[in-house]
Amino acid sequence: MTGMQTQLALVTQRPGMKARYAAAGVAVAVYPVQEGGHWPRIPDELPIVLDTVGMPPELLIQLLAWVPDTLVVIAVPEALLTLRLLAMSQDVQLVLPDDPNALRQCQRVVPNLIPGGQMGWMIPPPLALAPQPDRLRVLAALRVLAALREAQTMQAAAKRRGVSKATLSRQLAALRAALGLPPGREKRDRPSVHAAQILEWLAQGCERELAA
């Protein structure tokens, strides 16, 4: 027995994380992502730390769209698309490097993070999005992306989003315009096509226009 009490819930897909963090003096309860990209059931009293290292962007979008609580996130600087998605989240409060010592240093702060507060970065943040991430948070961009990603029709995507088809169409148009994307062909393109275009745009750093 180490005498350490569980203080944090670590949601991860990587093996060996409990022992790795315990060796740094950080007690975590490890929870795997559930089938279908759903959050595991976590006791309310445990602050949540999400490990995004090696996580596919599609899974990250699903998780960030429906976050159960304020999040601390583990990420790596070279994962540009991951960092851009994190910057668009309304719930991520602190982004840490893939280093147990970084979490140990912040361990006392994590339970006191205020929802909606300024996001903190302990790794270099991604280059600025156009527009600023705050605008994308207001647009609920991640929930729009999650609704579009697997739906076959705009009607089905709207149902997943919990809004009318007309409302989702307006949200999609606002999101594309905010990112500087040309208008989509809503009547011809499937929702998944819109989602793929937006992800490609983010992955490229919004540096060039997509082919029509």
Are 84 and 177 within one domain? no
The dihedral over CA atoms of 79, 130, 115, 22, expressed in degrees to the nearest 10, equals 10
Are 24 and 91 within one domain? yes
- How confident is the model at residue 112, as a pLDDT? 77
Least confident piece of the model among 25-29, 87-91, 208-212? 208-212
pTM of the model: 0.83
Q: How much is the average pLDDT of 48-58? A: 95
Mean pLDDT rounded to a whole number for the chain: 84
8 — pLDDT class (breaks 50, 70, 90): very high
Are 14 and 108 within one domain? yes
Question: What residues are paired with 51 via a beta bridge?
Answer: 74
State which residues form the domain around 185.
Answer: 133-203
- CATH code of 41's domain: 3.40.50
Q: How far separated are the first and last CA of the chain, in Å rounded?
A: 61
Least confident piece of the model among 2-16, 46-60, 79-93, 100-114? 2-16
One-letter amino acid for residue 207 of the chain: E
Task: Output the CA–CA distances (angstroms, integers) from residue 126 to 63, 82, 163, 174, in the order listed.
Answer: 20, 9, 31, 22
pLDDT at 61 over 70: yes
Are 16 and 98 within one domain? yes
Are 193 and 93 within one domain? no
Q: What is the pLDDT of residues 163-196, one digit of tens each?
A: 999 999 989 988 888 887 877 665 567 898 889 8
Are 141 and 185 within one domain? yes
Choose the final residue of a domain: 56, 88, 121. Answer: 121
11 — pLDDT class (breaks 50, 70, 90): very high
Q: Report how far Cα 142 is from the mean position of its chain's Cα atoms.
A: 7
Per residue in 51-79, is it b (16+ CB within 10 Å) or e — as a string? bbbebebeebbbbbbebeebbbbbbeeeb
Q: What is the pLDDT of residues 103-140, one digit of tens each?
A: 998 888 887 776 767 788 999 888 765 555 666 776 68
Q: What is the pLDDT of residues 22-40, one digit of tens each?
A: 999 999 999 999 988 899 9
Give the DSSP letter of residue 25: T
**Number of separate domains in the chain:** 2
Are 143 and 78 within one domain? no
Q: What is the pLDDT of residues 153-171, one digit of tens each?
A: 999 999 989 999 999 998 9
User: What is the number of other CB atoms lying within 10 angstroms of the CB of residue 208?
Assistant: 8
Residue bearing the bigger pLDDT, 191 or 150 = 191
- CATH code of 145's domain: 1.10.10
Does residue 127 lie within any of the structural domains? no
